[in-house]
Amino acid sequence: MASHPPKRKPAAPNFSAAAARKRQKTFDARSLAVQVADAALSASGELDVAAYVEAREYEIRSLESGIQRSKNALTSRAFQKVPRSLRRRTASHNVKRVPKRLRARARREMIEDNTPTVSSRTRKPTEQMRIRLETARRLQNLNAKTKAKRAAVKAQRDKEARKSLEESGSHAYEIAPRVPKIKKNKLSRPNPPEARFKKRQQCKTWLPTHMFHAKRAHMATSKDPLWRFAVPLSPTEKSYRPTHRARGSRGAVAWDMSYLATVQLEGSVGAIEGVLRAVGVEGEKAWGVKGRKWRAGTRGLRTLVYEWEGEKRPIAPVTLVWCAEVKGEDVEMVDADESGKQKKGKKGWRKVFVRVHPSAFLQLWDALLGVSKKQNPPVMVEDLRFEIGSIEITGPGATEALLASFKPVSVDGKDFAADSPEATWTSLLGVTNPASLPQDAVLGFSVSDPRLDFPPKTLKPSSSEEEMQRLAILLSSWSPDNTQTAPALFDRRARLAAARQLPSQKAINRRRTEAGPGVRPPAKDTDPKIPVMVLASRPTHSKSSSAPGTWTVLLPWKCVLPFWYSLMYYPLSSGGNPRFGGLKEQQQLSFESGEPWFPGDFPGTRAGWEWGLRERSEAKREWERRPKGRRTEFESIDLRNGQKGEIGRGWACDWERLVQGAAPEASKTTDKEQPSETESKPDDTTNPQDNDANATLPPLSIYQLSTSEATRALTDPSTTTTINASALATVKLTLLNRGTPSPRARIYRLPTTDRELRQDWLTLSSKQPYDGLRNELQKKQSRSTANLGPEDVQQQLAATLITPSAGDDVRQKHLPVPTEEDLIGFVTTGNYNLAEGKGTGIGSVLLSKVQKGKASGKNMCIIRSAGETVARVGFWELV
């Protein structure tokens, strides 16, 4: 009977032919040839010295050649010695692509391996390339002829015009460009792009640094732009750990935040205060004694704003900056065609910048517009989205990088006063953490064009005791609180003049060539004085006193690019250059500092809900792309609490299920067959700016509470009835022992119906849950072995070694998950926190369910990732 063929195919070797050849080459290079010394001995046993010496000489030469061959056969090439950020795909074929110190080795390796090194200049063009080159040359010649004809016609026309002017006795003056009219209470439009890039910006707007980021980062696609901007998502190279190190230990990380919207309010102080109060700017920090410096224009204010009518839902966190009060010697900046009566009427007017995330811009714009029209006199609302850009930078080297790029310039040519904002700014070289400055401090001044000093030189901070003492006195006294004048960035004429006077790169290169190598070109009267405003902020919810702060620089939109290149190529005193970050790096650093990131961690706002729908649709598409054998089947998960199947949608934070509870059995089948309205059209929520009237609102009256409101609701029993049942509070989650919370993980409170299970979770949450059990077992063992002989003791010891202990059983046993009744929220951001060295998360909890929980262990929670049956115990705190 014939034998059956094997059911499975024989396993293929785990290495390819190329790998085998490489391995054999390495083996041959490292093998040493030897010569037998038996020939040196004659038959009579006499030693032939000459033959013996020749054999040893052969072995020594073989050893030397083997060392050389082994060195030449290294597994690493010269181009692999280049840092990862400098590696390029063509590095192995072009010697000039590697640093100078490695070019000799790379050239030698290429000669030994016979690697072709043909450059593009000497390569013989192919037939297709030859046709393209000839066509380009022909078109170039035709274009040259056309340009020559056009220049001749223009010269003839100018000559005739000059002749006619001389005959008539008049003259020709160049008319200054008209200042564009202020678009009062109207949305602004982006500047028209260049003709060659116009097609690429039909559905989105490029940031000022788009060309820099497009070569080095993953960008938001044209089919799915973020908030109508081409936002960089993350650098192409691996940057998770380098970003963490650059912020905390050495270096700096910078972002182009020009996509953040800036709105200007202008009017009387009382009218502006009425507008801000109507959108929810309240409290001691704004209108009390604590807000005195903010109202004076020397501090910023970060707060949450709300809708001004209806349910007054939260909109977004914003940053508010007042224009500093005009001093007696300052002149009010008004249009030239305004009459003296208008000038007199505007003397008491103030201006305020409102900085908001673009996902919530239209919602805030409608609220501000509606409130401002009801004020008497009305407040003028101006959209400055494409007039003011911004750069954010954080890390120990952030201050010195900014000081090297943003060099103050005197407007009238005089020296800076001792306590002026310019002098204070230049004295901050020794600051390694912006959090050491007064919280939300504001500095406004004008700077020169950084391209005149490019590349920037390293500024080495002094470490002397006198310098540290002087810096401490400066930070404690903070003289700009008394000397800060009205920043020129609030003046529209100054912004437009800086953008128009900005010379081209060719003009800058011409001036640098005339000045000579290493010499700064002399200043000219026509050089632009670029107005900037610098804000120093710190994490508001961090418990650490040394938490890294952040610099935010506001400047004209068209002036962002020169400063960005100066920052990116600044050689830090600690080594290297500042890194750039994208949207994911922002989320990462906000998560590491324990701060909620807008809009992802604010599901109770319109912008946060739209972001959640976007994440939900992406997670569902990714889940559906997996084959059924390789994806988690959420419907068949056994939660070991009498419930089978995941709670809600496994690929989403199912807030509807949390608020409404479990649906009846009849409706569950219809939900599986028919997708919900929010999931059926995920593309409608991609750009909320398209149709603001039909924008998606959080269903079931879900809204986000601020930290103060949530704290008041949990501590004051009288507010239990006033808090809506759909109110969410943002919390920070910290796991007690092991585990890492993942996004979309479920958050439970301690069991409220099963007392025994609740006690088990409380026991598990104690810091040393097994010490008492271990001590009790040791006491029992000592009592049982007291009356036994030596042989019995040895037998009992051997039995305990092979039998698992009760403590091990308790450790290995996973407790059942609480029921759906104890579900209180979801994790919106979760990962291993490099700053804390353990798993943490940011999430939102339903405040009504938290209030119903028992007082003991109220801040304790149980976290279970979606699709898993193992839960971990942790704690939550409001942020």
Q: Which residues contact 851 (CB under 8 A, 6 or more apart)?
A: 713, 714, 720, 723
Where are the strands (E) in 474-593, listed by range?
530-537, 550-556, 579-580
**pLDDT tens column, 382-404:** 999 999 999 999 999 999 999 99
Give residue 500's Cα distance to chain centre: 31
Q: What is the pLDDT of residue 75?
A: 62
Strand partners, 840: 734, 831
For residue 630, is it within any domain?
Answer: yes
Angle subtended at Cα 442 by Cα 434 and Cα 283, rounded to the nearest 5 degrees: 100
Q: What is the pLDDT of residue 410?
A: 77
Backbone angles phi, psi at 404, to 5 degrees: -75, -25
3 state DSSP class of 471: helix
Q: Give yes or no for residue 470 having a pLDDT over 80.
A: yes
Give residue 549's Cα distance to chain centre: 14
Q: Give yes or no for residue 337 having a pLDDT over 80.
A: no
Q: What is the pLDDT of residue 679?
A: 46
The least confident of 70-84, 222-236, 315-329 is 70-84
3 state DSSP class of 103: helix
For residue 327, is it within any domain?
Answer: no
The least confident of 291-305, 309-323, 328-342, 786-800 is 328-342
Q: Name the DSSP class of 255.
A: E
Angle between helices 560-568 and 398-405 (to 10 degrees): 130
**pLDDT tens column, 848-872:** 899 887 666 778 999 999 999 899 9
Structure-token pair, residue 476: 């404690």
For residue 100, is it within any domain?
Answer: yes
The least confident of 238-242, 508-512, 780-784, 825-829 is 780-784
- Are residues 648 and 544 both part of a single domain? no
Angle between helices 583-592 and 240-248 (to 10 degrees): 60
Instruction: Give the β-pairing of 703-705 and 727-735.
Output: parallel
Query: What confidence category does residue 326 fall into, taking pLDDT thresholds of 50, 70 and 90?
Result: low
- Are residues 551 and 673 both part of a single domain? no
Distances (CA, A) of 614 to 227, 500, 653, 683: 12, 40, 12, 8
The CA distance from 518 to 512, in Å, is 9
**pLDDT tens column, 250-306:** 999 999 999 999 999 999 999 999 999 999 999 899 999 999 999 999 999 999 999
Q: Among 65, 97, 113, give the residue marking a domain's end.
A: 113
Q: Among 91, 113, 135, give the residue marking a domain's end.
A: 113
Task: State yes or no: cis peptide before 599, omega within 30 of 0.
Answer: yes
Strand partners, 833: 838
Q: Name the DSSP class of 359.
A: G
Q: Which residues contact 735 (CB under 8 A, 6 or more apart)?
A: 741, 838, 839, 840, 863, 872, 873, 874
For residue 498, is it within any domain?
Answer: yes
Winning range, highest mean pLDDT, from 512-526, 561-575, 749-763? 561-575
Q: Where are the alpha helices (DSSP H) in 31-122?
A: 49-72, 100-113
The CA distance from 388 to 557, in Å, is 5
The CA distance from 541 to 366, in Å, is 30
3 state DSSP class of 830: strand
Q: What is the pLDDT of residue 291?
A: 92
Q: Give yes or no for residue 334 having a pLDDT over 50.
A: no
- Greater model confidence, 778 or 715: 715
Query: What confidence category does residue 595 fall into, taking pLDDT thresholds of 50, 70 and 90?
Result: very high
For residue 673, is it within any domain?
Answer: yes
Q: Give yes or no for residue 812 having a pLDDT over 50.
A: no
Structure-token pair, residue 715: 């501590």
Distances (CA, A) of 234 to 8, 124, 842: 44, 39, 21
Q: Which residues contact 470 (CB under 8 A, 6 or more apart)?
A: 427
Contact 94, 88 (CB under 8 A): no
Distances (CA, A) of 115 to 23, 92, 94: 20, 9, 10
The CA distance from 301 to 353, in Å, is 11
The CA distance from 21 to 140, in Å, is 51
The CA distance from 531 to 556, in Å, is 7
- Are residues 440 and 534 both part of a single domain? yes
- Greater model confidence, 33 or 661: 661
Q: Which residues contact 551 (CB under 8 A, 6 or more apart)?
A: 392, 393, 394, 398, 399, 402, 434, 534, 535, 536
Find, among 685, 721, 684, 736, the residue nearest to 862 by Cα.
Answer: 736
Structure-token pair, residue 872: 């971990």
What is the mean predicted confidence (pLDDT) over 103-109? Answer: 86
Find, among 263, 224, 440, 259, the residue nearest to 357 by Cα.
Answer: 259
Give the chain's radius of gyration (CA, Å): 36
The CA distance from 824 to 661, in Å, is 11
Q: What is the pLDDT of residue 115?
A: 78
Instruction: Give the β-pairing of 253-256 and 261-268.
Output: unpaired
Contact 381, 374 (CB under 8 A): no
- Greater model confidence, 90 or 668: 90
What is the mean predicted confidence (pLDDT) over 127-144? Answer: 91
Contact 294, 286 (CB under 8 A): yes
Q: How far apart are the first and last CA of the chain?
A: 76
Angle between helices 269-278 and 361-372 (to 10 degrees): 130
Q: Give yes or no for residue 654 having a pLDDT over 70.
A: yes
Contacts of residues 805-808 at CB distance under 8 Å and 24 or more positions apart, as own/partner, are: 805/777, 806/773, 806/777, 807/770, 807/773, 807/774, 807/777
Report the number of distinct structural domains present in the chain.
Answer: 3
Q: What is the pLDDT of residue 72?
A: 63
Q: What is the pLDDT of residue 112?
A: 79
For residue 184, is it within any domain?
Answer: no
What is the mean predicted confidence (pLDDT) over 410-429? Answer: 85
- Are residues 632 and 550 both part of a single domain? no
For 259, half-sphere exposure in the C-beta direction (CA atoms, 13 angstrom radius) is: 24
The least confident of 310-324, 672-686, 718-732 is 672-686
Q: Give yes or no for residue 7 having a pLDDT over 60.
A: no
- Are residues 626 and 750 both part of a single domain? yes
- Are residues 532 and 619 both part of a single domain? no
Written as one letter, the residue type at 446 is S
- Are residues 497 and 646 both part of a single domain? no
Contact 441, 535 (CB under 8 A): yes
What does the mean pLDDT of the chain come to? 83
- Are residues 544 and 614 both part of a single domain? no
Q: Which residues contact 471 (CB under 8 A, 6 or more apart)?
A: 427, 428, 430, 431
Written as one letter, the residue type at 53 is V
Strand partners, 388: 556
The least confident of 199-213, 327-341, 469-483, 776-790 is 327-341
The CA distance from 334 to 322, in Å, is 18
Task: State yes or no: cis peptide before 455, omega within 30 of 0.
Answer: yes
Q: What is the pLDDT of residue 696?
A: 66
Q: Which domain holds residue 551?
A: 396-512+526-557
Provide, rounded to the nearest whole percent, the portion of the chain with pLDDT above 70: 80
Q: What is the pLDDT of residue 585?
A: 96
**pLDDT tens column, 424-446:** 999 999 999 999 999 999 999 99
Query: What confidence category does residue 602 fall into, taking pLDDT thresholds of 50, 70 and 90?
Result: very high
Instruction: Give the β-pairing of 579-580 and 253-256.
Output: parallel
Q: What is the pLDDT of residue 218?
A: 94
Give residue 468's Cα distance to chain centre: 32
HEC readout, 210-223? HHHHHCCEEECCCC
Contact 403, 428 (CB under 8 A): yes
Written as one letter, the residue type at 149 is K
Query: What confidence category does residue 172 fall into, taking pLDDT thresholds of 50, 70 and 90?
Result: low
Instruction: Give the β-pairing of 300-306 and 314-322.
Output: antiparallel
Backbone angles phi, psi at 429, to 5 degrees: -65, -35
Residue in the structure block whose two tokens are 């593309």: 683
Where are the strands (E) in 502-572, listed by range?
530-537, 550-556
**pLDDT tens column, 685-732:** 444 444 443 446 788 789 899 999 999 888 887 766 577 888 999 999
Query: What confidence category does residue 352 fall into, taking pLDDT thresholds of 50, 70 and 90?
Result: very high
Contact 766, 740 (CB under 8 A): no
Q: What is the pLDDT of residue 785?
A: 58
Query: What confidence category does residue 597 fall into, taking pLDDT thresholds of 50, 70 and 90?
Result: very high
- Are residues 767 and 847 both part of a single domain? yes
For residue 57, is it within any domain?
Answer: yes
Query: What confidence category does residue 310 fall into, taking pLDDT thresholds of 50, 70 and 90?
Result: confident
Where are the strands (E) in 278-348, listed by range?
300-306, 314-322
Q: What is the pLDDT of residue 806?
A: 45
Angle between helices 49-72 and 17-30 (to 10 degrees): 140
The two most distant CA atoms of the chain are separated, in Å, by 134
The CA distance from 716 to 725, in Å, is 16
The b/e string for 552-576 (b: 16+ C-beta within 10 A; e otherwise) is bbbbbbbbbbbbbbbbbebbbeeeb
Contact 133, 106 (CB under 8 A): no
Q: What is the pLDDT of residue 53?
A: 85
3 state DSSP class of 840: strand
- Are residues 545 and 642 both part of a single domain? no
Contact 407, 448 (CB under 8 A): yes
Q: Among 113, 128, 145, give the residue marking a domain's end.
A: 113
For residue 131, is it within any domain?
Answer: no
- Are residues 547 and 619 both part of a single domain? no
Q: Give yes or no for residue 152 having a pLDDT over 50.
A: yes
- Greater model confidence, 234 or 113: 234
Distances (CA, A) of 325 to 442, 646, 786: 13, 58, 87
- Are residues 742 and 855 both part of a single domain? yes
